Amino acid sequence: MRIDRRAAVALMLKAAIVGCVAAAQAGAPMVKTQAPGYYRMMLGEFEITALLDGTTELPAASLLTNTTPEEVQRYLSRAALKDPVETSVNAFLVNTGAKLVLIDTGTGTFMDAGTGHLLASLRAAGYEPGQIDEIYVTTCTAITSAVWRAAERERSRTRSCARANWRRTTG
C-alpha cells in the first residue's frame, strides 16, 4: 500500500489532535479557586506590588459632575458599560529594599461583600501584615476613616501590625 504525501499529513494531523485531546484530559486535580489578586513590577530600584481588595459598583451618574445623567449613560453605552460601574479597589505595597510601605488600606467590607480581600492578597503575594513598616492613606473619605478606625482598634488588640508607623497623608 502506497501512502502519498497528502495522506501522510492528514494522518499526522489526526494523531496530533488525538494527542492534544488526551493531554487535555490529564489526571491533575482541579484547583477550583481563584488566587487572590496581586501584580508585581519594578519601578527603578523599588518593587511595587498592586494588591486587590476587591471590586464594587459605583453609581457613575451621581458621582460625575458637570454633566447630566443622560450624557453619562450615553458614554457608558458607547463603552458597553452600564450604571453602576464595577470598579476595582486596590492598595500598593512598595518594597524599597529597606522598608515595606503599604499605600492605602482597601475598604474592608464597608463598601460591600465584593471587597475586603486585601489581607488575602497581601499573603498570596508572600507578605504578612507584621512585616509592613509604614502605611500611607491617600484618600480620607468617610469609608476610609471607618477603615482607619477599625484598623486602629485591631492594631490595639493584636500585635500583628506592631511595627507599623501609621500616617495620614491627606486630611
- 3-12, 109-118, 121-130: which is most confident: 121-130
- pLDDT over 80 at 15, yes or no: no
Domain containing residue 112: 31-168
- 79-83, 119-123, 152-156: which is most confident: 79-83
Tell me the average pLDDT of the chain.
75
Per-residue confidence band for 90, with pLDDT thresholds at 50, 70 and 90:
very high
- Cα-Cα-Cα-Cα dihedral of 116, 119, 124, 129, to 10°? 170
> Alpha-carbon Rg of the chain, whole angstroms?
25
Say which residues have a Cβ less than 8 Å from residue 138's Cβ, sequence separation at least 6.
Answer: 103, 104, 169, 170
- Per-residue confidence (pLDDT) for residue 10, from 0 to 100: 60
Give the tens place of pLDDT for each residue, 134-149: 888 887 655 555 555 5
Number of domains in the chain: 1
Query: Whole-angstrom Cα distance, residue 80 to residue 152?
Result: 41
Asked if the structure places residue 11 within a domain, the reply is: no
Asked if the structure places residue 9 within a domain, the reply is: no
Asked if the structure places residue 64 within a domain, the reply is: yes
- pLDDT over 70 at 55, yes or no: yes
Asked if the structure places residue 8 within a domain, the reply is: no
- Per-residue confidence (pLDDT) for residue 128, from 0 to 100: 87
- Per-residue confidence (pLDDT) for residue 6, from 0 to 100: 66
Neighbours of 55 (CB within 10 A): 17
Asked if the structure places residue 25 within a domain, the reply is: no
Determine whether 58 is exposed, middle or buried from the number of CB atoms within 10 Å of its CB (0-12, 13-18, 19+): middle
Asked if the structure places residue 42 within a domain, the reply is: yes
Query: Whole-angstrom Cα distance, residue 139 to residue 145?
Result: 9
| CATH number, position 76 | 3.60.15.10
Mean pLDDT of 32-36: 57
Query: Whole-angstrom Cα distance, residue 94 to residue 49?
Result: 6
Asked if the structure places residue 49 within a domain, the reply is: yes
Asked if the structure places residue 16 within a domain, the reply is: no
Query: Whole-angstrom Cα distance, residue 61 to residue 49?
Result: 32
